[in-house]
Amino acid sequence: MYKKINLPSFLLFFLILSSNSYAEEYKNEKLHVDIIMEADHILTMNSSNTILKNSAIAIDGGLILDIDNIKNINAKYQTDNRISGKHKIALPGLINGHSHAAMTLLRGIADDRSLIDWLNNYIFPLEQQFVNADFVRIGTELACWEMIRGGTTTFVDMYFYPDVISKVVTKCGLRGLISSTISDNQTPNAQNAEDAINGGEEYINRWAQKTPTITPILGPHAIYSLNLAQLKETRRIAALTDTPISIHLSESEYELQYSKQTYGMTSIEALDSIDFFNGRTIAAHVVWPTKKEIAILAERNVGVIHNPTSNMKLASGIAPIADMLDAGILIGLGTDGAASNNDLDMWEEMRLAALLQKVTQMNPEVLPATTVLRMATTNGANIIGLGEKIGKLEIGMDADIIQVAFDDVHHQPNYDIPSHLVYVTDEQDVVTVIVNGKLLMHEGQFFTLDTKKISEEVAAMATKIANSIK
């Protein structure tokens, strides 16, 4: 905005006529913007993988207003919030495509067990006992803190009490695609599938268009926790409300056997038989697809979220990411819940995604660093339907931007920025997080969270949970 000049117009006219220097100054007045972020390098993640040197981003009204070299930005804009860029890399905020945020409160509680044993004998009973609106609020706050700390700016969540999750996410300033877990089991906020589906639809209607950073979605849990008629009903509602669906798909060998025994087909085939993929689908895991199923996913434009840590920890298997990429499937990355990871660190997911495919394929050329960075940024954005707004740094995009410090010992020397970001960087290197043009974290200071209060509430809740399993 130009500075307002409160002078009668005749006087202003006189002043302009009489003072060359004033006219010069007026002409040169710079546009005032919310934030100017500088960076030694800006990794745009645009289609040409452009990396800009000694550049800056002008951020205003939640958007990226301009990107140019520092000299030009300083000639055009002024700000009260300038973020220094010395030894810093700016890049798009990371997109965590699959999580159960509030499960941070169950971090490390029942490690080293099989998926089904872990779910049926530990996680589901604990959730039945403890999960209520308060549990979800505290767990989601802890997760948002951790995600902001590590440079995640958008996440896709599936859990209970979605209104509580959405309120927490709105307050902490992150961007979220939030769903209520829909299952035919009794859950903390539903009696059965019908109840859960109704609850999911009502939540979508409450939150659609409510705030620019929350997208309510549907979260049918999996093919083994809902029957095909119920799954078909979730797609009907998704179509009706123009909503994406997030689902666990082909995660374990158990799911494969279950689907074959129940439907005489593998799970992706069974879902395709009811036109489940007829609409935006965010499929978490996809560890056990057949060749035929990979072709179905490619044909139906299903986005796959790879969760390497969770798949390794639960020994679910190794998702054939390289084969799915070859088939043209969009692949994003996720952490899954902190109970099966056990953190929400997207840098670790990038690193493990690359390493796991290389050693499985016995081919060091698969999943190069830039491909993995795309999975955590542009691909994730396209899968969740926000590719026009986030995932890359271009003029007009929403300002979801992070800065990573590159001056610590493990980043020296620096020959190749994408390589460092994938193979070296960790959460602690993130110094600035901006979402929708709002500064959420800078140099260890959190502007939207009361971290002391969160720690106290987490400790109190953890004591209750620990006492119950003694």
| 102 vs 344: CA distance, rounded Å | 11
Minimum separation from the CB atom of position 303 to Zn ion (A): 15
C-beta of 426: minimal distance to Zn ion in Å? 23
Rounded least distance, CB 171 to Zn ion, Å: 24
Which two tokens mark 131?
């999960």
**Chain centroid to CA 123: how far?**
23
Query: What phi and psi, each to the nearest 5 degrees, are found at residue 179?
Result: -135, 155
158 vs 375, which CB is nearer to Zn ion?
158
- State which of positions 12-71 bind Zn ion (CB under 5 A): none
Among 132-140, 260-268, 329-337, 378-386, the segment contacting Zn ion (CB under 5 A): 329-337
Give the nearer residue to Zn ion in terms of CB position, either 68 or 336: 336
Question: How far apart are CB 83 and Zn ion at their closest, in Å?
Answer: 35
* The one segment of 104-112, 257-265, 330-338, 437-445 that binds Zn ion by CB under 5 A: 330-338
Tokens of residue 298, six digits: 């490619």
Q: Least distance from C-beta 269 to Zn ion, angstroms?
A: 22
Sign of the dihedral defined by the CA atoms of residues 449, 452, 455, 461, in that order: negative
Radius of gyration of the chain (CA): 24
User: With contacts defined by CB under 5 A, how many residues of the chain interact with Zn ion?
Assistant: 1
Residue from 369, 377, 349 nearest 417 by CA: 369
Give the x-and-dash track for 210-249 against Zn ion (CB under 5 A).
----------------------------------------
Between 181 and 377, CB nearer to Zn ion: 181
Residue 221 to residue 117: CA distance in whole angstroms: 17
Q: Provide the mask over 286-325, with x wherever binding to Zn ion is found by CB under 5 A and - wherever it is not.
A: ----------------------------------------
* Choice between 233 and 336, CB closer to Zn ion: 336
Stretch that binds Zn ion, among 198-206, 334-342, 379-387, 459-467 (CB under 5 A): 334-342
Q: Do 283 and 264 contact (CB within 8 A), yes or no?
A: no
User: In whole angstroms, how close is the CB of 282 to Zn ion at the nearest point?
Assistant: 11
Whichever of 65 and 282 has its CB closer to Zn ion, that residue is: 282
* Residue (282 or 393) nearer to Zn ion, CB: 282
Structure-token pair, residue 45: 């993640």
Nearer to Zn ion, 375 or 439 (CB): 375
Residue range at the interface with Zn ion (CB under 5 A); choices 129-137, 185-193, 235-243, 331-339: 331-339
Task: Report the residue number whose CB is nearest to Zn ion.
Answer: 336
Least distance from C-beta 321 to Zn ion, angstroms?
17
- Scanning 19-27, 336-344, 405-413, 454-462 for contacts with Zn ion by CB under 5 A, the matching segment is 336-344
Angle at 214 between CA 211 and CA 217, to 5 degrees: 130
Q: CB nearer to Zn ion: give 184 or 336.
A: 336
**CA 445 and chain centroid, separation:** 21
- Distance in Å, CB of 371 to Zn ion, minimum: 23
For residue 118 the two structure tokens come to 């872990």
Is the Cβ of residue 40 or residue 336 nearer to Zn ion in the bound state? Answer: 336
Q: Which of 336, 345, 349, 457 forms a contact with Zn ion (CB under 5 A)?
A: 336
Report the nearest approach of Zn ion to the CB of residue 383 (Å).
15
Rounded to whole angstroms, the Cα distance separating 355 from 360 reads 9
Nearest distance from C-beta of residue 406 to Zn ion, angstroms: 33
Asked whether the beta carbons of 176 and 215 are under 8 A apart, the reply is yes
For residue 333, the minimal CB distance to Zn ion (Å) is: 13
Within 91-120, which residues bind Zn ion (CB under 5 A)? none
* Residue 55 vs 250, nearer CB to Zn ion: 250
Considering the complex, state which of residue 336 and residue 345 has its C-beta at the smaller distance from Zn ion. Answer: 336
Please report, for residues 150, 194, 219, 259, the alpha-carbon distance to residue 228 in angstroms, rounded to integers and kept in the order given. 38, 13, 15, 10
Positions touching Zn ion (CB under 5 A) are 336
